[in-house]
Amino acid sequence: MKKTFANVTTDIEDDFSLAKYVTDDYDTGAENRVLWGKETYKCELDDKEIEFKLCVQVEDLYGLCGDDSVKGQVDIEVLLVPLATCCSQKTLDKANNGNGTATTEQDLLDYGCYVVMARELLKEIDGDEPLDSQIVVDKVKVAAKCLQFYGGTCGFYLDRYQNRIGSTGWDYLNEWCSDIDSCKAALDRWKAEQK
């Protein structure tokens, strides 16, 4: 059966297994769940090869913030996270608070070292545990099945602006992997275009 996540369409089989695409079990956490894709992908950044993982992050917005205006809303995102082995020591230290332990991709995600590849907001999800609703579970399956598509077309998504000053996903990767300020890179690009 054809299903869509953030304008990407894929086939979902009747015997679909989430475990085939992601490593973590979906039934963990009440308000925020992260399902890590099993594959590692690569992209070229200047003269560096950057390896990254993709994950599906699922958030019960009301459960996270308690604001009635977002009750029943669940945000599902596909995120690109560089492997810790590709990040600079400065980034690794910031991601684990300099505590001397090995930095994981989950540490990087928690710190904010990710690029949003796709997002879909589901509204009017009923129940006390919206992440367990069938609508959300079905949409997560589609997002997980689409991970390979996003990994193979990462350049398109990295080209997109990530903020209002025009930092791209490439700028962020450069910041995390080579310590090149993403905001300065975007402003320098803008200034060059004004000439």
* 27-57 exposure pattern, b = at least 16 Cβ within 10 A, e = fewer: eeeebebbbbbeeebebebeeeebebbbbbb
For residues 92 and 176, give the distance between their C-alpha atoms in angstroms, rounded to a whole number: 9
How crowded is residue 189: how many other Cβ atoms within 10 Å of its Cβ? 15
| Residue 151 exposed, middle or buried by CB count within 10 Å (0-12, 13-18, 19+) | buried
pLDDT given at position 34: 93
Domain ranges in the chain are 2-161
Q: What single DSSP character describes residue 88?
A: -
Q: Is 182 helix (H, G, I), strand (E, B) or coil?
A: helix
For residues 114 and 52, give the distance between their C-alpha atoms in angstroms, rounded to a whole number: 10
pLDDT given at position 55: 97
Residue 26: partners with Cβ closer than 8 Å, 6 or more residues away:
18, 33, 35, 137, 140
In this prediction the pTM is 0.91
Give percent helix, percent strand, percent coil of the chain, each to the nearest 5: 40, 30, 30
Q: Is 101 helix (H, G, I), strand (E, B) or coil?
A: coil
List of the chain residues with pLDDT < 70: 24-29, 98
DSSP letter string over 111-180?
HT--EEEEEEEE----SS-GGGSHHHHHHHHHHHHTHHHHHHTHHHHHTSB-STT--BHHHHHHHHHH--
pLDDT given at position 46: 85
